[in-house]
Amino acid sequence: MTANFTSWGRPFTDAKMDMYGGDITQRYQLGAQQLAATSDNFTEGVQKTQQPIVTGTSVIGLKYKDGIMLAADNLASYGSLARFKDIQRLYGVGDNTVIGAAGDMSDFQHVQHELESLFIDEYCNDDGHTLGPAQIYEYLSTLMYHRRSQLNPLWNAFVVGGVDPKSGESTLAYVDLLGTTYSAKTIGTGYASMIAIPLLRRLVEDREEPPNEEEALEIIKTCMKVLFYRDARSLNKFQVAKITKSGSDISPSMSVETEWGFAEGIRGYGAQTQ
C-alpha cells in the first residue's frame, strides 16, 4: 500500500495522475523531502524552556539575629490559573543552606537535579570539606550566567540563604536568569521586590539591632499578608525556612488571617447592589 493517503481505495493508475495531468506521487515525495529538510534544523540540539509555563511568584528573605529567614508561598500558576497549590519552593541544600525559587518550576527542578549531582560528586571526593552557602551561591551564579550566555536561560530568580557552620557568617544573596547577583540584609523577587522590600527595609534595616527570631517571623508574616492582598499570583499558604549555625528547618505550610470586609463596596467584588 502506498503511503500517500490520497491513493487509498483508488486504482493505482487513477491515483498516480491528478486532474492536471501531473505525477502526484512525485509531488508528494518532493514535499516530504522539503519537510524533512526543514525538520532537521530542530534535531541539531536539545531545546529546553523557551518561556515560563508553570511559575511561582515572590520569595522574600531577611537577616535576623541568629541567621537567615526565607518565605515563599505554595502556589504554582499555569498562566493566570492557580493550578498547583501544594508546591514547595524552598529547597534545602546541605545542612546550612536553603534556596527559594521564583519563576519556572520545571527549570527549578532542573536546578535541583544539578545541585544533587554536585553534592554527590563532593561526597565521593571525601576530602573533608563541605559546600557552604557562599559556595552554593557562587555555583548558582555561574550556572545561571552560563545558561544565559548560551541563549538558553533558566527562567528563575533564586534567593540563597545560609550560615557557615564554622565561621557563623550569614549569607543572603540573589541570582536571576541573567546571572545578576547581589547580597543584602533584605531580598525579594518578583512582585515582592516592589511591594515587600520597602516594608522589609523599614522593619529590618532601619533598626539599630537585628530582629530576633520571633520578631523576624512576624515581619515575614506581615509581608506575606501584603503580598497576598496585592499579588494576583499569590496564595495564603506559605512556608518559612530558618537557617542558623546549627542547621536549617523548613516549616509546614501556614497561613495568615486576612480581612476583606473593606472590599464589599468595590464594583466586581462580593454582593453587588444597584
Q: pLDDT tens digits, residue range 65-77?
A: 999 999 999 999 9
> Do 114 and 211 fall into the same domain?
yes
> Do 73 and 26 fall into the same domain?
no
pLDDT score of 70: 97
Average pLDDT, the chain: 84
pLDDT score of 5: 41
260 confidence band (pLDDT: 50, 70, 90): confident
Domains contained in the chain, number: 2
Range of the domain at 16: 5-41
257: in domain: no
pLDDT score of 12: 47
> Do 162 and 94 fall into the same domain?
yes
pTM: 0.78
Q: pLDDT tens digits, residue range 109-126?
A: 999 999 999 999 888 888
> Closest Cα partner for 220 from 212, 230, 231, 209?
212
- The CATH number of whichever domain residue 100 belongs to comes to 3.60.20.10
- Assess whether pLDDT exceeds 60 at residue 26: no
Candidates 49, 55, 222, 244; catalytic one: 49
Q: Is 142 a catalytic residue?
A: no
> Do 94 and 183 fall into the same domain?
yes
pLDDT score of 9: 46
124: in domain: yes
> Do 90 and 223 fall into the same domain?
yes
167: in domain: yes
> Do 225 and 127 fall into the same domain?
yes
> Do 180 and 215 fall into the same domain?
yes
pLDDT score of 18: 47
> Residue range 136-143: average pLDDT?
96
- Assess whether pLDDT exceeds 70 at residue 166: yes
> Do 34 and 130 fall into the same domain?
no
114: in domain: yes
> Do 125 and 214 fall into the same domain?
yes
- Assess whether pLDDT exceeds 80 at residue 171: yes
- Assess whether pLDDT exceeds 60 at residue 27: no
- Assess whether pLDDT exceeds 60 at residue 179: yes
> Residue range 212-237: average pLDDT?
94
pLDDT score of 35: 54
30: in domain: yes
> Do 136 and 205 fall into the same domain?
yes
> Do 30 and 134 fall into the same domain?
no
274: in domain: no
260: in domain: no
Helices 192-200 and 213-230, axial angle in degrees (round to 10): 150
State the Cα–Cα distance between residues 151 and 31, nearest whole angstrom. 32
